[in-house]
Amino acid sequence: MLLAVVSGFAAALFAPFIHRRLPRYSGWLFATLPAGLFVYFVSFSGRIAEAEPPRFAYTWLGSLGIDLTFHVDGLSLLFALLIAAIGALVIVYSGSYLAGHAEQGIFFSHMLAFMASMLGLVLADNAIVLFIFWELTSLSSYFLIGFDHRRAGARHAALQALLVTGLGGLALLAGLILMGSVFGTLEISQWMLTGDAIRFHVLYLPIVLLIAGAAFTKSAQIPFHFWLPNAMEAPAPVSTYLHSATMVKAGIYLLARLNPVLGDTVMWSALVTTFGAATMVTGAYLALVHVDLKRILAYTTISALGMMTMLLGIGTPIAIQACVVFLLAHALYKGALFLVAGAIDHATGVRDATRLGGLFGQMPVVAIAGLVAALSSAGVPPHLGFVGKELVYQALSEHLLNAILLGAMLLTSISFVAVAGVVGYRPFFEGMRDVAREPHPPGLSLCLGPALLAALGLIIGVAPGLVEHWLVAPAASAIGFQPVAVELALWHGFHYNLLLTLFAFATGMFVYSRWDGFRAVCTSLDASASFGPARGYDLLLTATSAAARATTRILQSGHLHFYLLTIVVTAIALIGGSLLTQHLPLGVSRWSDVRIHEFVLAVLVLAATVLVVRARKLITAVVSLGVVGYGVALFFLFFSAPDLAMTQFAIESLSVLLLVLVLFRLPEIERYSRTSERVRDAVPALIFGGLMTILVLTVTALSREARLAPFFAEHSYPDAKGMNVVNVILVDFRGLDTMGEITVLSIAAIGVFSLLKLFLKGKRESEGNP
């Protein structure tokens, strides 16, 4: 099983090389992989109809609860078969669709990688593995949509698709992690057994919203639908494979997969049904407004996805059954129609439906395939599309809000009929074309895909028994998590649903005949472009970028003092904040202990400090700084630290000398700042100083147990034979630290040296060649 999933990635790795060797037959060659996988998956059909679905586990990261687990139930199988079968046809098709394209090898590579990701997605049992493959489909679809990267439109569309579905992907991750934390396991098949645990959990609502968000973005539900029509920038085989048959159905797959766990609540069905129905109607309407064949198909796809979402929201056995049948029917006819549109585009270079006509003579096979698929999509008997629609009507009529939903469905059906005419009839059989180029007849590989898919739709429609037991029933059972008996039939007897179908057909024909007029009216009414979700997406991007710029300008002003001020203010907030909550023993009674000479010295040091701050001349500042330093040394001397006092004297003298030497070369102190700026800086500085004073007072007011000092007092002489404890600490007990200290000094020396060297060298160079 792992091999089946990974083989696509492996093939993707070598595809460009193989293609370079065999450019003419590579399409057929690569198609053998999905074809083989198809056969492999068919072999599962017998097993899953009878017993427990087979499960495959490969150890990966067990300690985090992630292993590579796959399982094949009816739902997975249905998707896997569609992915493999349509994959094979599409790859054959693109062999000649993109023949001679410089990057065809890379194209195959992306396609195969996408196929493998999609297979992994529908077969994964571990939630995180599912997520990984989900993201991989987004990523590979990004490259496929942007395949024609020389056009800005394609790049923009690819990025848009990636951002929208990527956003959904992270919602998915969040949702799955939350579900994992609720269930305590990441295996989806385990979740099924204890679905009730989550429906009453606090996290149920966020989980449903996150999962629905993921599914809605991937399956282009309102208000995230806008990326799908734009993704039609992709070559036709990509649109066929990703945007009708497989990837966009990943959202449907997710909803179906998690239906047993999350479904069956008012919340779930209200959310999913509403969004599904709204998407269905909107897509159906927008499909009639456009003239580009692929865009029309994209909007009907959105509509169909909405229908499936709606059915999953309803969630009754008959609705689930309708969803499965319709999904199959849609994959077959929409796949065929996209391939037909691609073939037309390939032959004539035109996709504008108003400029196409009378192509039957040039491409009879494609024309017939297109017509048959279109009839299936219109729901005309004896096609599978008809079987599916009948079931949908039946499912809706049992629903509480049947009037509204049936009305929506009727509108959608009308639109589908009209669109079927525009896409499947008009280009071939009606009017004259207005095409610059003389169309050339398509070859075998361009005809094979559409013909086979359309034929399958017809055959299964005539004899639905072919799929009902081994394909539809297990899939429906998996979604409902209970055995579902499936009886598919073309003819259900005379039922009022049939009247609806007939009405839809008649009205649809009428709309088709008045299509041009209808479009004109719609276009004049259409103001949605200026404030639709697509516009929202653009606005969001612009606003984010503007906000980012504003933040940058405020936070990264480049002013050093602003950076420092931030640190100081934060430190004040941190320290002051915790000071407020503490009991503060200031111990001011200790005033009495102050000796006069200490007090005088303190005043002297503080006065010198003020002088340093106020100094107008550099030399005054340096001298005052020296006074402060010597004052500090005196403090050390007063309070029993002779070593410190000596060091401080020495270092202070050295520092002053150094400062004088270098500062001599710098300009005099200048006053750059205004009074207001000085006040702004002085206030936090004084607060910080005050806080430090309070801190010292409180900390020293408390007694504490000395832990280190007694050890050194005890051991200095016996262990290290030294009388001066400070020295012993430095050179013996903490020799390591002293060693580090010396290293720091030497680094400072190296630093001084190399900075000067580099600088002088650079200066010489720039003077040498100005």
Partner 1 sequence: MEVTLAFVIGGLYAAGIYLMMRRSIVKLIIGLALLGHAANLLIFTIGRLVRGAPPIIDHGKTHLIGQFADPVPEALILTAIVIGFGVSAFAIVLIWRSHETVGTDDLDEMRSTDSFD
Partner 2 sequence: MEQVMSTINLSAIYPEIILTCFSLLILLMQSFSTPRFKEYYGYVSLVGVLAALAFVVMEPSSFFAQTVVYSFNDMWVVDNYARFFKLIFLLGTGLTILISMKYLEDEAMQYGEYFALILFATIGMMIMASAGELITLFLGLELMSLSLYVLAGYTRVRMVSNEAALKYFILGSFATGFLLYGIALIYGSTGTTSIRAVAASVGKYGLYSPGLVMGMAMLVVAFGFKAALVPFHMWTPDVYEGAPAPITAFMSAGPKAAAFAAFARVFMEGLPALQMEWTWLIWIMAALTMTIGNVIALVQDNIKRMLAYSSIAHAGYVLVAFLAAGELGISSVLYYLLTYTFMNIGAFAIITALSGRGEPRVFVRDYQGLGFQHPFAAVAMSLFLFSLAGIPPTGGFMGKFYIFSAAVKEGYIGLAVIGVVNSVVSVYYYLRVTVAMYMEEPSSVREAEAAAPIFSPALVIAIFISAYGVLSLGLFPSSYVAIVKQSFLALQ
Tokens of 368: 């017939």
Shortest reach from residue 415's CB to partner 1, in Å: 48
Residue 214, contacted partner among partner 2, partner 1, none, CB below 5-8 A by kind: none
Binding to partner 1 by residue 566, rule CB under 8 A? no
Binding to partner 2 by residue 131, rule CB under 8 A? yes
Q: How far apart are the first and last CA of the chain?
A: 68
Residue 582, contacted partner among partner 2, partner 1, none, CB below 5-8 A by kind: partner 2
Binding to partner 2 by residue 179, rule CB under 8 A? no
Residue 61 vs 270, nearer CB to partner 2: 61
Shortest reach from residue 111's CB to partner 2, in Å: 16
Tokens of 632: 């500090």
Residue 167, contacted partner among partner 2, partner 1, none, CB below 5-8 A by kind: partner 2
Residue 590, contacted partner among partner 1, partner 2, none, CB below 5-8 A by kind: partner 1
Binding to partner 1 by residue 612, rule CB under 8 A? yes
Binding to partner 1 by residue 725, rule CB under 8 A? yes
Binding to partner 1 by residue 735, rule CB under 8 A? no
CA distance 337 to 421: 12
Binding to partner 2 by residue 202, rule CB under 8 A? no
Size of the site for partner 2 (CB under 8 A): 90
Stretch of 92-100, 119-127, 239-247, 687-695 lying at the interface with partner 1 (CB under 8 A): 687-695
Shortest reach from residue 155's CB to partner 1, in Å: 25
Binding to partner 1 by residue 635, rule CB under 8 A? yes
Q: Which residue has the tokens 């005196």?
A: 634
**CB neighbours of residue 593 within 10 Å:** 7
Size of the site for partner 1 (CB under 8 A): 105
Binding to partner 1 by residue 557, rule CB under 8 A? yes
Residue 595, contacted partner among partner 1, partner 2, none, CB below 5-8 A by kind: partner 1
The string of DSSP codes covering 417-433 is: HHHHIIIIIHHHHSS--
Stretch of 34-42, 218-226, 453-461, 583-591 lying at the interface with partner 1 (CB under 8 A): 583-591
Binding to partner 1 by residue 513, rule CB under 8 A? no
Shortest reach from residue 588's CB to partner 1, in Å: 7
Stretch of 44-52, 308-316, 667-675, 743-751 lying at the interface with partner 2 (CB under 8 A): 743-751
Which 401-440 positions form the footprint of partner 2 (CB under 8 A)? none
Residue 156 vs 734, nearer CB to partner 1: 734
Shortest reach from residue 29's CB to partner 2, in Å: 23
Choose which of 46, 574, 737, 739 interacts with partner 1 (CB under 8 A): 737
CB within 8 Å of 223: residues ≥ 6 apart = 533, 536
State whether the Cα torsion 443-449-454-458 is positive or negative: positive
CB within 8 Å of 415: residues ≥ 6 apart = 284, 285, 287, 288, 300, 303, 508, 511
The string of DSSP codes covering 252-320 is: HHHHHHHHHHH-SSHHHHHHHHHHHHHHHHHHHHHHHH--BHHHHHHHHHHHHHHHHHHHHHH--HHHH
CA distance 361 to 359: 5
Rounded (5°) CA angle 376-382-383: 25
Binding to partner 1 by residue 712, rule CB under 8 A? yes
Binding to partner 2 by residue 721, rule CB under 8 A? no
Q: At what angle do helices 364-378 and 384-397 cross, to 10 degrees?
A: 10
- The dihedrals phi and psi of 82, each to the nearest 5 degrees, come to -60, -45
Choose which of 704, 768, 769, 770 interacts with partner 2 (CB under 8 A): 704
Binding to partner 2 by residue 201, rule CB under 8 A? no
Binding to partner 1 by residue 373, rule CB under 8 A? no
Which 18-37 positions form the footprint of partner 2 (CB under 8 A)? none
What's the one-letter identity of residue 762? G
Residue 765, contacted partner among partner 2, partner 1, none, CB below 5-8 A by kind: partner 2
Name the strand (E) or helix (H) holding 57.
strand 55-61
Residue 170 vs 641, nearer CB to partner 2: 170
CA distance 759 to 583: 54
Residue 61 vs 682, nearer CB to partner 1: 682
Stretch of 442-450, 493-501, 521-529, 735-743 lying at the interface with partner 1 (CB under 8 A): 735-743
Task: Look at residues 374, 379, 366 and name the one whose alpha carbon lies nearest to residue 461.
Answer: 379
Collapsing DSSP to helix, strand or coil, 660 comes out as helix
Tokens of 322: 């309708």
Residue 487 vs 741, nearer CB to partner 2: 741
Shortest reach from residue 197's CB to partner 2, in Å: 17
Binding to partner 2 by residue 163, rule CB under 8 A? yes
Residue 14 vs 562, nearer CB to partner 2: 562
3-state SS of 117-179? HHHHHHHECEHHHHHHHHHHHHHHHHHHHCCCCCCHHHHHHHHHHHHHHHHHHHHHHHHHHHH
Binding to partner 2 by residue 167, rule CB under 8 A? yes
Name the strand (E) or helix (H) holding 56.
strand 55-61
Choose which of 15, 144, 173, 353 interacts with partner 2 (CB under 8 A): 173
Choose which of 266, 400, 436, 702 interacts with partner 2 (CB under 8 A): 702
Stretch of 280-288, 339-347, 351-359, 728-736 lying at the interface with partner 2 (CB under 8 A): 728-736
Choose which of 57, 170, 618, 637 interacts with partner 2 (CB under 8 A): 170
Choose which of 64, 436, 525, 560 interacts with partner 1 (CB under 8 A): 560
Name the strand (E) or helix (H) holding 188.
helix 188-193
Which 132-161 positions form the footprint of partner 2 (CB under 8 A)? 132, 135-136, 139, 143, 146, 149-150, 155, 158-159
CA distance 428 to 448: 18
CA distance 253 to 248: 9
Residue 647, contacted partner among partner 1, partner 2, none, CB below 5-8 A by kind: partner 1
From residue 645 to residue 684, the character string flagging contacts with partner 1 as x (rule: CB under 8 A) and all else as - is --xx--x--xx--xx--xx-xxx-xx-xx-------xx-x
CB within 8 Å of 704: residues ≥ 6 apart = none
Using alpha carbons, list the distances in angstroms from residue 644 to 87, 315, 527, 631: 81, 82, 81, 12
CA distance 575 to 190: 50
Binding to partner 1 by residue 697, rule CB under 8 A? yes
State whether the Cα torsion 575-577-581-587 is positive or negative: positive
Which 529-548 positions form the footprint of partner 2 (CB under 8 A)? 544-545, 547-548
Contact (Cβ atoms closer than 8 angstroms) between residue 475 and residue 79: no
Residue 485, contacted partner among partner 1, partner 2, none, CB below 5-8 A by kind: none
Task: Look at residues 363, 336, 331, 343 and name the one whose alpha carbon lies nearest to residue 94.
Answer: 343
